[in-house]
Structure 1
């Protein structure tokens, strides 16, 4: 099915059976990531993550992957560190989860900071991926929700930076 082709009516009104690619975060999957400073936390107001009528219409007409391309993550600021990682095991995740959490091995890095652990270190990663977000059968807007979750969590780690590695996990961005 071409990316621009709308969903067929067979999916029905806000069906949870949307076409999604398989979850890529599985053992031995390798990827490169760049450090990132999150934007300011998104405002939290009543109904801030609820779909409106145009969101529900979009959900019926576009494939999930097309919606993700239409709604990129909030911009932040790229950092100076680039790392190559290999997934070891998924701790929590897959379709229908608000975040993907897995262990991975740090294979390689290019860094201007001295903060990264040594190559071969096993770490835990958390990814907020709207493609696999549990949207409560169309009630929640996955893009607004993951932006909220990510910006609030990343900024909390920055606010608590003096405690990282001593009671809370170390955050690498």
Structure 2
């Protein structure tokens, strides 16, 4: 929660707060062999950050009455008690008819504590299905209670987890029909499971996704690949980002950890990359702006989108000796004659470069 301490009235004991002991907090249940039943749902829209104006009607009243406790409550409660206090007023999702039984097969990112986003990710088997799937679970009980940037302040973990669930669902609804199974994992719906806590139950949301047969880019060392191979995976990632934006979703977190390659051989003819992790995205239609594809025939060229600077967190895949001139020349060589994207006029690139230099 970014703010300026010069304009924010800090409580006198703000520096004394630490996450309290949690003697009643159960171990993470999402381990190999864990079995559960879930019901498919359609969550409400996201409601934090730029989406705060989206909730209306009953959902808006629900948020005002059942969510966003004051800071004093968060500073004097435990995660267990906070999650229990909201269990009687679960997130109002539209209940669908589909139910299914699942079993956790392998843990991908199942951890408790600080230093991570909070969601739990694992592969699972759906009863009656042959292929394995990936579940991404938004359980507030295992989100970090201390704010990552301001550890003396408690996080509203319930609001954060529910917003992540709603936002990632909305992103997949926006993108799945066009790109599910190609540029992103195929979406298999949003679900609720019941988790016991102190002789009661609470509902936890998760999204169900295609299990990608590939390797995360952040597990590969750029130094082990040729310049051509590095630029190839970089080009595919940039094209995917531009295509997703054209369909109405700005990813906002393109990084090696969120890029899945179809294999370790980056020279393979059938190399593909897919983009994952949509809980930081901007979804244009939700904010009143139509997706560019609604009125335009072709996406913007990567030349225009990345002119003057490469994707920030992909820098290690850019040749070390390159500067802006080499980068811009590669953009033109790669997409200058492409019919897949809009044509870019040279004089426009000059204007873009000047704007970048003046930032």
TM-score band, normalised by shorter chain: 0.7 to 0.9
96, 103, 108: which one aligns with 1:86? 103
Distance 1:164 1:158 in 2: 10
Matched positions, count: 147
**Which residue of structure 1 aligns with residue 122 of structure 2?**
102
Gaps of at least 5 residues in structure 2 are 1-15, 51-67, 191-359
Alignment of 1:39-118 (within 5 A): 39-44=44-49, 52-57=70-75, 60-61=76-77, 63-72=78-87, 73-96=90-113, 97=116, 98-108=118-128
**Which residue of structure 1 aligns with residue 168 of structure 2?**
153
Runs of 4+ in structure 1 off by over 3 angstroms are none
Distance 1:129 1:23 in 2: 10
TM-score with structure 1 setting the length = 0.74
Q: Report the aligned-residue RMSD.
A: 2.5
Instruction: Say if 2:36 is the partner of 1:31.
Output: yes
132, 145, 149: which one aligns with 2:142? 132
SS of 2:181 mapped into structure 1: coil
Deviations 1:22-47 (A, max 9, x none): 000011111001111010111425xx
Q: CA deviation at 1:149?
A: 1.0
SS of 1:25 mapped into structure 2: coil
Higher RCO structure, 1 or 2 (CA under 8 Å, sep 6+): 1
Deviations 1:118-144 (A, max 9, x none): x23201000000000012354311011
SS of 2:164 mapped into structure 1: helix
Instruction: Say if 2:27 is the partner of 1:22.
Output: yes
Deviations 1:74-121 (A, max 9, x none): 21111121111000111002212410000011124xxxxxxxxxx232
Gaps of at least 5 residues in structure 1 are 1-11, 109-118
Structure with higher helix content: 2
Q: CA deviation at 1:160?
A: 0.9
